[in-house]
């Protein structure tokens, strides 16, 4: 990153720093697993048949790719003000750079210990990089990479996720 990229020092200072350490306020639970499997017509017996789960994984687990589900805030809850957002670093960057729109372009998931029914997941976010100004078919803006690291209640790593986001302003045509 160079000075001409126009990235403020306060953003550069956050690169590599752990932000927004949060523990979910609900446990990993079976009905959300069923919702995900239903939404993707996933008939894997590991998630539907308790005997298979007992045999293969020592009890019920969640599909690995659901990991972000377990830390996303409720849309509303008592005492909450405004929209409750997951991936707050992403929204911070949109605001910092005055980019009203955003999409995700890349996602990497690395799965460690299985997430089990009854687990309580904690995660944090780490900004890895911010690009200089870029223009795509969606508009003009910047790309950024944010890692999310997930641990269970025993502080055992369950997954690391990396998102590439593109914050942008639609070009006037």
DSSP letter at 127 equals E
Choose which of 113, 124, 145, 147 interacts with another protein (CB under 8 A).
113
Q: Output 7 or 62, the one with its CB closest to another protein.
A: 62
Residue 82, CB half-sphere, CA atoms under 13 Å: how many? 2
Beta-bridge mates of residue 8: none
Choose which of 93, 126, 163, 167 interacts with another protein (CB under 8 A).
163
Judged by CB under 8 A, does residue 138 bind another protein? Answer: yes
Q: What is the rounded CA–CA span in Å between residue 40 and residue 33?
A: 11
Judged by CB under 8 A, does residue 114 bind another protein? Answer: yes
Q: Output 3 or 75, the one with its CB closest to another protein.
A: 75
Q: Output 32 or 88, the one with its CB closest to another protein.
A: 32
Q: What is the rounded CA–CA span in Å between residue 107 and residue 93?
A: 18
Query: Which helix (H) or strand (E) is 108 found in, with range?
Result: strand 101-111
Q: What is the rounded CA–CA span in Å between residue 116 and residue 142?
A: 37
**Nearest approach, Cβ of 86 to another protein (angstroms)?**
8
The contact set with another protein (CB under 8 A) reads: 32, 35-46, 49, 51-52, 55-57, 63-66, 68-69, 72, 75, 83-84, 86, 100-101, 103-114, 138-139, 163, 170
């Amino acid at each position: 990153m160079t000075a001409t990229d126009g990235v403020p020092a306060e953003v550069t200072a956050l690169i590599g720093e752990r932000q927004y350490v949060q523990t979910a306020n609900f446990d990993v639970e079976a009905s959300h697993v069923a919702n995900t499997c239903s939404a993707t017509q996933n008939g894997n017996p590991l998630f539907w048949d308790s005997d298979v789960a007992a045999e293969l994984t020592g009890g019920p687990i969640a599909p690995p790719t659901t990991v972000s589900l377990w830390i996303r805030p409720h849309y509303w809850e008592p005492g909450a003000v405004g929209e409750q957002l997951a991936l707050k670093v992403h929204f911070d960057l949109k605001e910092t750079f005055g980019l009203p729109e955003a999409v995700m372009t890349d996602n990497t998931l690395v799965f460690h210990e299985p997430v089990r029914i009854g687990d309580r997941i904690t995660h944090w976010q780490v900004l890895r990089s911010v690009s200089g100004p870029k223009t795509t078919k969606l508009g003009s803006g910047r790309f950024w990479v944010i890692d999310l690291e997930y641990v269970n209640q025993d502080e055992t790593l369950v997954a690391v996720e990396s998102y590439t986001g593109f914050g942008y302003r639609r070009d006037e045509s």
